[in-house]
Amino acid sequence: MKELTVSKNDAGQRLDRFLAKAVPLLPASLCQKYIRLKRIKLDGKRAERDARLVEGNVIQLYINDEFFDTPKPENAYLTVTAPKLNLLYEDENILLVDKKPGVAVHPHDGAEYGRTLIDHIQAYLYAKGEWKPREEHSFTPALCNRIDRNTGGIVIAAKNAEALRILNQKIKDRELEKKYLCIVHGTPKPAKGRLEGFLFKDAVKNRVYLTKEPQPGAKTAVTLYRTLRTKNGLSLVECELVTGRTHQIRAMMAAAGTPLLGDGKYGRLGKQEKEDHRTYQALYSYKLKFSFTTESGILAYLDGREFQVEKVDFAEQYFPGQLRG
């Protein structure tokens, strides 16, 4: 018999979903059967599979030891001996990290073991003693938003399960304002406006397609933009995401006739890119504001706070002083 004590980060989950994480070698169908047969109990009593866990609950598991064999986990954070993070903000619940272009936020197909942003965040919290994996059954520090490898900007990480739950809901309800800087070829017309359409994602080609009319599988996309400066055939543009679709800004600005500098997927790599050896898009998630309109729980103190990165290299290169101005 094994016992698992429910921690603060485990609380609020359904019993069966918690067990799927805490005992990953136990098949879901067998887990349900064992709950029915009272071979899995909650505080010594019969439990239902959808019982909500409370901190301090003790789960008794009268199951074979083979289900507790340690699987081969993705402990990539253990390979990071010197975490490298550009921290923009940190408190007891969240981290805001300024991710630089070229860094992947998560591993892809098992590649980049120990080199992704989440690996470094977990290694950082592990080294500080704020995250103790051996005391956790199901929670690991996680990212609340993602940014493409070659796009830079602010990434939010949750340090505990409650913060992760709240932020995921806030993002879903569009209670976070995210603004991007980009450089485009040409001059947007009008200088300030709203781009609308429907984006269809082709997962095989890892790109999206914009249509004016609804299509099966396509999702509504809305981007607000304003031109900050124009010089030498390039424009510095601020974009605000109303919706957050894959490659949204890149695809919509290209469809408007002003593709992003360095974007070979949706635009072109021309003379300017070759002269500057630029091989990735000039796009940066540079500003974040928490604008809560619903209950915010332990994160209420963040409401109204705004954060901005200190520097965007391509903006400084082509339009020096703009951020400071």
In this predicted model, what pLDDT tens digit does every residue of 84-137 receive, in sequence order?
Answer: 999 999 999 999 999 999 999 987 765 677 789 999 999 999 989 998 887 887
Q: Give which of 230, 229, 238, 322 is closest to 282, Cα–Cα.
A: 238
- Among 13-22, 62-71, 73-82, the range with the most confident prediction by mean pLDDT is 13-22
Kindly report, residue by residue over 251-298, the tens digit of the pLDDT: 999 999 999 999 999 998 888 888 888 888 999 999 999 999 999 999
Instruction: Indicate the burial class of 168 (C-beta count within 10 angstroms; 0-12, 13-18, 19 or more).
Output: middle
The helix, strand and coil proportions of the chain, stated in percent and rounded to the nearest 5, come to 25, 30, 45
**Is residue 73 pLDDT above 50, yes or no?**
no
Domain locations along the chain: 2-68, 76-172, 176-318
Please report which confidence band the pLDDT of residue 72 belongs to, taking 50, 70 and 90 as the band edges: very low
Residue 16 amino acid letter: D
How many other C-beta atoms lie within 10 A of the C-beta of residue 3?
A: 9
Q: Are domains 76-172 and 176-318 of this chain identical in fold?
A: yes
Render pLDDT for 208-258 as a digit per residue (tens, 0 to 9). Answer: 999 999 989 999 999 999 999 999 999 999 999 999 899 999 999 999 999
Q: 76-172: which CATH number, 3.30.2350.10, 2.60.40.1220, 3.40.50.300, 3.40.190.10?
A: 3.30.2350.10
| Helix runs in the chain, H state only | 15-22, 28-36, 117-128, 161-172, 248-255, 271-276, 313-318
Which H or E run contains 64? Answer: none
Q: How confident is the model at residue 138 (pLDDT cuts 50, 70, 90)?
A: confident
Q: How far apart are CA 170 and CA 33, in angstroms?
A: 36
Residues 6+ apart with CB under 8 A from 115: 103, 104
Assigned token pair, 105: 């936020």
Contact 208, 245 (CB under 8 A): yes
Tokens representing residue 90 in the block: 């940190």
We find that the CATH architecture of domain 176-318 is 2-Layer Sandwich (3.30)
Whether pLDDT at 299 is above 90: yes
pLDDT of residue 210: 94
CA distances to 26, 32, 34, 67 from 29, rounded to whole Å, are 9, 5, 9, 14
- The identity of residue 301, as a single letter, is Y
Q: Looking at the DSSP assignment, which residues form a beta bridge with residue 154?
A: 98
Burial 17-44 (b: 16+ CB within 10 A, else e): ebbbebbeebeeeebeebbeeebbbbee
Distance, in Å, from the CA atom of 278 to the CA atom of 214, rounded to the nearest integer, reads: 35
In the chain, the percentage of residues whose pLDDT exceeds 70 is: 96
Cα–Cα dist 121/158, whole Å: 10
Q: Over the Cα atoms of the chain, what is R_g?
A: 23
Q: How far apart are CA 252 and CA 247, in angstroms?
A: 8
pLDDT at 74 over 60: no
pLDDT of residue 111: 60
- Superfamily holding 2-68: RNA-binding S4 domain (3.10.290.10)
Is the model's pLDDT at 325 over the cut of 60?
no
